[in-house]
Amino acid sequence: MKAWEELISSSFYEATARQRAHGLVDAGTFNELGGPNKRLKSPHLPELGEAVSFDDGVVTGVGRIGARPVFVISQEGRFIGGAVGEVGGAKTTAIFQMALRLHDKIAKKYPEDASLRAPAIIYSFETGGVRLHEANAGLLAHAEQMELIQECRGKVPVISLIGSKVGCFGGMGFVSISTDVVVMSELGRIGLTGPEVIEQEMGKKEFDSSDRALIYRTTGGKHKTIMRDCSFLVDDTIGAFRDQVKTLLNMPYEQLKKYRSIGSLKLVQEQLSLVALAAVLQPKDSTDVWAHFGNDNPEGIPDMELEEFCRKAKLRHREVE
């Protein structure tokens, strides 16, 4: 493992799951739980002759940011595309449950200032969703995570970090957007249906899954920022993601809540007015939507540097504040 100082200046996009886990929390504080020496391997992959890993493709543990305990879930895209199976799913469930229980103990011990002492969860996504080799167990694991995200609301802040090579697709596309806050880099991608499946459904003319620029315009960090699905767009370093998390964890929970895009009737109604816009606009490309929100030169947006984008880009107006 690189030294912590070196980790935080490293590319988030290129980093392994374990590097992200160590770098996101304070130096030397990451305690891996269910680590490689516990040998939590998939019992299903060997039956199919598929390579196994001692961590089943997800690094889980707890560290600190300042005084706060911070639980970390970090998916490894190099291992079977970061896909979720039975063991990795269980490790993730375990982290959510531990954070909830720790929260309750802290709330009891420090009733006065529980909210700034309470644990948080940071979830670094790099996944295509369900691992097909153990598809049924992977599917059921997704449902558990959704339930636990809702159970965490008002108690344990859950922050999604998306900026790794594989992106965040399939069922994890809705798991990530259901958390309190989504932080992305420009290189991050989030979606439900993967590009290949859209091409298969709509034809290559409508959606060419080999067109990288098109995929970024549809699912990338800048687009999701304009749509207000991503609340903070940061540089591609572990340190930049970490700094954003630190800022968020210094906010009272009440303030964090305003970054949600779903999770109440009002937010559903806000999304429905966006869907009504989709029906009228029938965009051929995300650039049509960017133009609608007042961006005069939508074609220029993909080439903008982060600083220029943050200064100039016009974002969707949010109805619920």
Partner 1 sequence: MAATSLVGKGRAAISLILDEGTFEENRIGGTVLDAGLGPGAVVGSGRLNGRVVTVIANDAKLRNPRFPVVYAGIIGLEEAYKMAEAVYASIAADDGLPPEKKRPLVLIVDSPGNGPGKIEEIFGMNKATGAYQLALIEARQKGHPVVAMIIGRAISGAFLCHGLQADRILTLSKEYGTMIHVMPLSSIARITKRDIETLETLSKTNPVFASGADYFYKLGGVEEIIEDSANMREAISRHIDEVYAFNSAGRREENGPRGRGALGAKRGGRKKRQQVLALMEQEFALIEDEYL
Partner 2 sequence: MALHEISFLIEPQEGYESIPVDWAHNGVVGSGDMELLMQKTDSAAVQVNIVTPVAGYDAIWEKVLRKFVAEARLGGVSIEINDNNSTPYVVATRLKQGLLEAKAGERE
3-class SS of residue 58: strand
Using CB distances below 5 to 8 A depending on partner kind, what does residue 36 bind out of partner 1, partner 2, none? Answer: partner 2
Q: What number of other Cβ atoms are within 10 A of residue 96's Cβ?
A: 22
3-class SS of residue 131: coil
Question: Which residue in the set 20, 30, 34, 59 belongs to the binding site for partner 1 (CB under 8 A)?
Answer: 34
The interface with partner 2 within residues 110-149 (CB under 8 A) comprises none
State how far the Cα of 146 lies from the Cα of 124, in Å rounded to an integer: 16
Phi and psi at 270, nearest 5°, equal -60, -45
Using CB distances below 5 to 8 A depending on partner kind, what does residue 86 bind out of partner 1, partner 2, none? Answer: partner 1
CB of 35 to partner 1, least distance (A): 9
CB of 178 to partner 2, least distance (A): 28
- Binding pattern for the stretch 213-242 against partner 1, x by CB under 8 A and - elsewhere: -----xx---x---x-x-------------
- Record the tokens describing residue 192, joined without a space: 């439900």
Question: Which residue in the set 178, 185, 225, 237 belongs to the binding site for partner 1 (CB under 8 A)?
Answer: 178
Q: What number of other Cβ atoms are within 10 A of residue 9's Cβ?
A: 12
Using CB distances below 5 to 8 A depending on partner kind, what does residue 268 bind out of partner 1, partner 2, none? Answer: partner 1
Tell me, rounded to whole angstroms, the distance of Cα 299 from its chain centroid.
26
- Binding pattern for the stretch 247-286 against partner 1, x by CB under 8 A and - elsewhere: --------------xxxxx-xxx-xx-xx--xx--xx--x
Of 71-79, 155-163, 202-210, 225-233, the segment contacting partner 2 by CB under 8 A is 71-79
In whole angstroms, how large is the CA radius of gyration of the chain?
A: 19
Q: Look at residues 87, 223, 73 and name the one whose alpha carbon lies nearest to residue 161.
A: 73
Using CB distances below 5 to 8 A depending on partner kind, what does residue 137 bind out of partner 2, partner 1, none? Answer: partner 1
Q: Which residues contact 305 (CB under 8 A, 6 or more apart)?
A: none
State how far the Cα of 111 lies from the Cα of 209, in Å rounded to an integer: 52
Answer yes or no whether residue 7 interacts with partner 1 by CB under 8 A: no
Q: Closest CB to partner 1 among 42 and 53?
A: 42
- Binding pattern for the stretch 141-160 against partner 1, x by CB under 8 A and - elsewhere: xxxx-xxxxxx---------
Answer yes or no whether residue 33 interacts with partner 2 by CB under 8 A: no
Answer yes or no whether residue 46 interacts with partner 2 by CB under 8 A: yes
Count of positions (residues) in the chain: 321
Which H or E run contains 232?
Answer: strand 232-234
Q: Closest CB to partner 1 among 168 and 240?
A: 168
**Integer CA distances (angstroms), 79 to 26, 51, 58, 255, 321, in order:** 26, 9, 9, 36, 40
Number of residues that bind partner 2 (CB under 8 A): 23
Q: Look at residues 45, 70, 65 and name the one whose alpha carbon lies nearest to residue 55.
A: 45
Contact residues toward partner 2 (CB under 8 A) are 1, 16-18, 28, 35-37, 39, 41, 45-54, 76, 78-79
